[in-house]
Amino acid sequence: MKVGVKYCGGCNPSYDRVKTVKELEERLGGKVEFVSWRDENADGVVIVAGCPVSCVDGEPFAGRPSWRINGHEDLDGMVKSLEEAAGEKR
């Protein structure tokens, strides 16, 4: 499954967003290929917000599944959600 990654603008990040996405990728063990959010072949988009405000506009992703990470504490839930989505995609 291909999943696009869209980072927020980073005006007030409360955690290392890039490190969190790398950890997410490692924990998924190849079940998901992360690509640019602009990739039209992406099956969905992970929106990586730097803080709980999560002001990234989701409208550009309408019609595709999207998931939000608002902090490193969301990582376990994101792993589970993406594993489930990847399983359904097969």
Give the per-residue pLDDT at 33. 96
Q: Identify the three-state secondary structure at position 88.
A: helix
Q: What are the structure tokens assigned to 38, written together?
A: 């602009």
Q: How far apart are the first and last CA of the chain?
A: 8
Give the per-residue pLDDT at 25. 96
CB–CB of 24/68 below 8 Å? no
Give the per-residue pLDDT at 87. 87
How do residues 29-75 score in pLDDT, each as one tens digit?
A: 999 999 999 999 999 999 999 999 999 998 888 889 999 999 999 99
Q: What are the structure tokens assigned to 11, written together?
A: 């005006």
Q: Give the up-direction half-sphere exposure of residue 3: CA atoms within 13 A in the CB hemisphere.
A: 28
Cα–Cα distance measured from residue 35 to residue 21, given in angstroms and rounded to the nearest whole number: 12
Q: Over 90: is that where the pLDDT of 23 sits?
A: yes
Domains in the chain, ordered, with CATH?
2-89 (3.40.50)
Give the per-residue pLDDT at 15. 95
